[in-house]
Structure 1
Amino acid sequence: MDAHDLALGDDVARLWPRPCHDDDKYSRGVLGIVAGSDAYPGAAVLCTSGAAAAGTGLIRYVGPGRAQDLVLARRPEVVVHADSDAVERLPRASAWVIGPGVADHPGQEAVVGAVLASGLPCVVDAGALEACVRARYAGDRRAGAESVLLTPHEGELVRALGAVRHDVTADDVRRDRAGHARLLAETARATVLLKGSNTLVATPGGGLTTLATATPWLATAGAGDVLAGIAGALLASGLHAPDAGRIAAWVHARAAALASGDDPDAPTGAGGPITALDVAHAVPRVVASLVAPRGETPQSG
């Protein structure tokens, strides 16, 4: 690891939420998740798996029946809610993840709107990005910039900026990823995690964190859904969006290297193929290597 990556590792050890003996599932953070759809039900499984692997005390999932069944088959501890019920009364949560795999589902879109109107901390991905950016650009910012984490890839960044009259192309973004991440952060008054081989975390006012290059094996379907779940777990524990974004991305990349058999301290593209669930399954080992119980010294990575 380079010096910057080592410093981020120190931040993980210092900031990662650790349970106390008197904690319960509620005090450890309750995360609501609106993810998946009839077309992309797997996103719900991947997002809830990422959140569970990161140590969320309780996960509430809102989505269609098929996705609920898949989530419960993989993660029976998750509490599921129908979107019609969630619109009437938003389930109690410390923070939310909205948007992964959400597509053309009016019920889920209504819940996304209710979450944005609640002012609660949230990770905003994929199918919820444009609605969130439009609302915040128009001045509807019930959640502060420190409580909202947008997680686009390059194509989603282009569409989100286009939704608020910043017409850019994918080539424009590739030429200046940092500048466009900062532009979206300033426009939406939110923290932006721009996904890619070099993940960036930008904040309003020009702040920028550049993470080390991840193993290329991480370029696999569903990896972003796992990342959203990890970041949501950290928001639910009380971290602000800039810390939640950069720490989640760091752990996500390390978990991918570990799962692939690459060297997490010097990602070079060695190792072998992985799936998104492989990344989620490796997260607890990454955290355990860095975070010791309170009163003990964290181990080095």
Structure 2
Amino acid sequence: MVTGSRVDAAGIAALWPRPLPEDDKYTRGVLGVVAGSDAYPGAAVLCVTGAYRAGAGMVRYVGPRRAQDLVLAARPETVVHADADAVDRLPRTHAWVVGSGVSDAPGQDAVIGAAWASGLPCVVDAGALEDCARARHSGARSTPPEKILLTPHEGELVRALAAIRHDVTADDVRRDRSEHARLLAETTRSTVLLKGSRTLVVSPGGATWELPVATPWLATAGSGDVLAGIAGALLAAGLDAAEAGVCAAWAHAQAGARASGDDLLSPSGHGGPVTASDVAEAVPAVIAAVTA
């Protein structure tokens, strides 16, 4: 379990799961992903890629045909499932990531609801946050707090709190990010990862972890989808929600710095532009360095 509030490479190295000689793709962690849509199919690719680059043994993707095709083109090792089939019988997984890039699609919505009601560890992102917050606030908590990770940015945090009748503004959140992340954590009994230049991870009734400042080049489309995939891979490997959130946010920030050439320790080192795909592809080198 993560202890204290300081996050550094030594702490990440102690937590990061490493494959053993007797492991196979199943024992390393099977992750289910419900992400992307006809409008935002790239989110599916980025989330799946983030999971694989973070060490998932296998990824099962559930989504529309267009997104399935793009996922298979980018990551042919992925097993894809149609919404209708997955609703009738959820694919066998160790954890789920739901919500990245989803839009109004009844089939996907049904799978998302089934995933977080399954009791399996779950990362809840973007388009699934408000419904999940409502469900957990009302008492639908099949997944315990230490196994569910909500990953809003500031605007999504405002909307998730509004969904459970806590009306706050973006300015309110900026004035006290920790307080409002904790409000969501406590009222939904979930672990919350509040994204930003200085990411916070908050567990209900527990501690708050503040990540080091990340490179501003990470503020790019799809970056959060990659982060969700990384966190999902860690949940599938057996970490709890706080551990997965802290490790994923740290690795994501380090991968962004590596991809951009940003020396985070130098006041003058700001690197250059990156894409979310660049960040995902830099993750294995970050893991190799921290686990060496």
Shared fold (TM-score greater than 0.5)? Answer: yes
Q: How does 1:122-271 map to 2 (within 5 A)?
A: 122-266=122-266, 270-271=270-271
* 1:119 match: 119
Question: Deviation of residue 8 (structure 1)?
Answer: 2.5
Greater than 4 Å deviation, 4+ residue runs = 4-7, 264-269
Question: Deviation of residue 116 (structure 1)?
Answer: 1.5
Question: Deviation of residue 270 (structure 1)?
Answer: 1.6
Offset from partner CA, 1:226-261 (integer Å, 9 cap, x none): 000000000000000001001100000000000001
Question: Deviation of residue 264 (structure 1)?
Answer: 4.7
Q: Which structure 2 segments of 5+ residues have no match?
A: none
Tell me, in whole angstroms, the C-alpha distance in 2 between the residues paired with 1:47 and 1:264. 25
> Aligned partner of 1:221: which letter?
A
Change (3 A) 1:73 1:170: same
SS of the residue corresponding to residue 201 of structure 1 reads strand
Q: How does 1:92-111 map to 2 (within 5 A)?
A: 92-111=92-111
* 2:12 match: 12
Tell me, in whole angstroms, the C-alpha distance in 1 between the residues paired with 2:269 and 2:36. 30
TM-score, normalized by length of structure 1? 0.94
Q: Which structure 1 segments of 5+ residues have no match?
A: 293-301
Deviating more after overlay: 265-274 vs 158-167:
265-274
* 1:296 match: none
Q: How does 1:23-34 map to 2 (within 5 A)?
A: 23-34=23-34
Tell me, in whole angstroms, the C-alpha distance in 2 between the residues paired with 1:134 and 1:266. 43
Asked if 1:53 is matched to 2:53, the reply is yes
Offset from partner CA, 1:134-168 (integer Å, 9 cap, x none): 11111111110000000000010001000111011
Q: How does 1:33-52 map to 2 (within 5 A)?
A: 33-52=33-52
> Aligned partner of 1:17: which letter?
P
> Aligned partner of 2:90: which letter?
L
Q: CA RMSD for the aligned pairs?
A: 1.4
Tell me, in whole angstroms, the C-alpha distance in 1 between the residues paired with 2:7 and 2:180. 25
Tell me, in whole angstroms, the C-alpha distance in 2 between the residues paired with 1:113 and 1:139. 14
Change (3 A) 1:206 1:13: closer
Query: What percentage of residue pairs aligned between the two structures are identical?
Result: 70
> Aligned partner of 1:94: which letter?
H
SS of the residue corresponding to residue 256 of structure 2 reads helix
TM-score, normalized by length of structure 2? 0.96
Tell me, in whole angstroms, the C-alpha distance in 1 between the residues paired with 2:198 and 2:133. 23
